[in-house]
Structure 1
């Protein structure tokens, strides 16, 4: 691979961004409540003073992590929108993410579902902010089903697909079973075909 053209090097993430990325990783692997400032700082390799210069509380980091995930999700949805040849193929991109992330899902579950669930149990003020991740998927899937010709029940279908994907992620993680994900993805693709109106 060629080196970047001089003057066009990709900028290195700043310390704040590296803290947020490390926190995102740890919140997914061990949970928000069980992640400490010290663990995040250790991954980033910054002093406590430098750490507190960027974030005073763990709740501030949580807000930044949720914003990061929202931005990444919006970018992913834009990519699916651009790459998919029609709504059925775009919905297929959503289903395929279970396969793309299956190794992580088997170990840790769905990153969206696990965070939203944990914050709900904690009755945390950031729960609604985190739940906006589900809303992004719900609204996007709703629009795809409308374009598919299922305007009357688009939201019902969007919620069913969301629920099924969450159930698959939860059970695959509980049983540490990647083959279960593959089998369920095939079922979800067959279901999508069954709800697609004939041309």
Structure 2
């Protein structure tokens, strides 16, 4: 295995362990053991755990950008893109019920530690926020796009936190359905010419 592959394996392993056990509770030795490296070989790639954390955050940022780009490519309508964000709670329900939202848990832990990387980790939320703002603006809600983006982020984090506490999949599905209903209520009504007698279709269907 080449050096770049080994480094990638370290980052992937650290990312998983930080999520499963927390950043503070995960040691150099834990990561090295999982990867199968001696201390000497491990230090060749990373000198401190903070360096690994920086690499983990950078990888999560890259993966998030790729996810958002995929949603952009897969759905032409901004409403469908926003619903893709809402539905991620269902797609990741098993992980969320077991350990919470990977973004929220990391941000919360680093904030409690007053870690130097806490703002970098919060950048993950900023990626989602900025992307949602663009989608709401494209939907015709430019004036309050940021408020709507923050609301849906807040709702998703609240659902994730309680889903972890209660381990209740039905709760997740009910809350996602409620978020969908809320979202559809935010969609501007369609506008047709006065002479158009067609029945009005829901704008976010």
Q: What TM-score bracket applies, with the shorter chain setting the length?
A: over 0.9
Partner of 2:74: 83
Please give the alpha-carbon distance, in whole angstroms, between the structure 2 residues aligned to 1:55 and 1:179: 42
| 1:113 is the counterpart of 2:104 | yes
Please give the alpha-carbon distance, in whole angstroms, between the structure 2 residues aligned to 1:48 and 1:21: 18
Map 1:113-192 → 2, pairs under 5 A: 113-192=104-183
What is the aligned counterpart of 1:52 among 28, 34, 43?
A: 43
Once the two structures are superposed, residues 3-40 of structure 1 have per-residue CA deviations (whole angstroms, 9 ceiling, x without a partner) of xxxxxxxx997000000000000000110000011111
Change (3 A) 1:13 1:175: farther
| 1:66 is the counterpart of 2:66 | no
Structure 1 gaps of 5+ residues are: 1-10
Partner of 1:23: 14
**Aligned residue-pair number:** 189
Please give the alpha-carbon distance, in whole angstroms, between the structure 1 residues aligned to 2:23 and 2:60: 14
SS in 1 for 2:121: helix
Please give the alpha-carbon distance, in whole angstroms, between the structure 1 residues aligned to 2:167 and 2:33: 29
C-alpha root-mean-square deviation of aligned residues, in Å?
A: 1.3
TM-score (norm 2): 0.90
Structure 2 gaps of 5+ residues are: 191-205
C-alpha deviation, 1:85, in angstroms? 2.7
Once the two structures are superposed, residues 80-101 of structure 1 have per-residue CA deviations (whole angstroms, 9 ceiling, x without a partner) of 0111130000000100110110
Please give the alpha-carbon distance, in whole angstroms, between the structure 2 residues aligned to 1:40 and 1:179: 35
